[in-house]
Amino acid sequence: MSEIPERLAVKPSWLITQLAVHARRLVFDGFTAAGARGYHYRILAALHEFGPASQAELGRRCRIDRSDLVAAVNELVEQGFVDRSPDPNHGRRNRVTLTGDGARQLRRMDEVLDQVQDDLLEPLSDEERRTLTRLLSRALAQHEPD
């Protein structure tokens, strides 16, 4: 790294922050090209993995604020990627379900993210990528809310 003070260049927090800037740009550009947003991926992935859910459940699982979640679900409904209908077990709750088109969009978004990982971590071997992922996961778990 040129022109960076040594005391910064050796701080993992600084390195992670700098890499995060690049990761965000790559993800944003990739999702924009696919006609999607990061919130869309989170919602589609949660529905695929856990099945139909209320909007409140989705907000908690995806860590998306309620108003942002409603806007994102509205976009996904308009695009035909999810269905939203009243929850038969709870009159005031909506149930969100992944559609077949939504599952296909999720696969396209997975491909975008796979390419982002390759671009972002190009200088690392497969083993180094697995190690980095494991270490970052362990560090993040320390700071996760209970």
Which residue is it, tokens 């995060």? 20
pLDDT tens per residue across span 10-62: 999 999 999 999 999 999 999 999 889 999 999 999 999 999 999 999 999 99
Tell me the three state secondary structure of residue 145: coil
Residue 71, pLDDT score: 95
The CA R_g of the chain, rounded to the nearest whole Å, is: 18
Looking at CATH, the fold of the domain delimited by 36-112 is given as Arc Repressor Mutant, subunit A (1.10.10)
CA–CA–CA angle 47, 117, 63 (5° rounding): 35
- C-beta atoms surrounding 98 within 10 Å: 24
pLDDT tens readout for residues 91-130: 788 899 999 999 999 999 999 999 999 999 999 999 999 9
Edge-to-edge order in the sheet of strand 82-87:
53-54, 90-98, 82-87
Name the residue ranges covered by the structural domains of the chain. Answer: 1-33, 36-112
pLDDT at 127: 97
pTM for the predicted model, two decimal places: 0.87
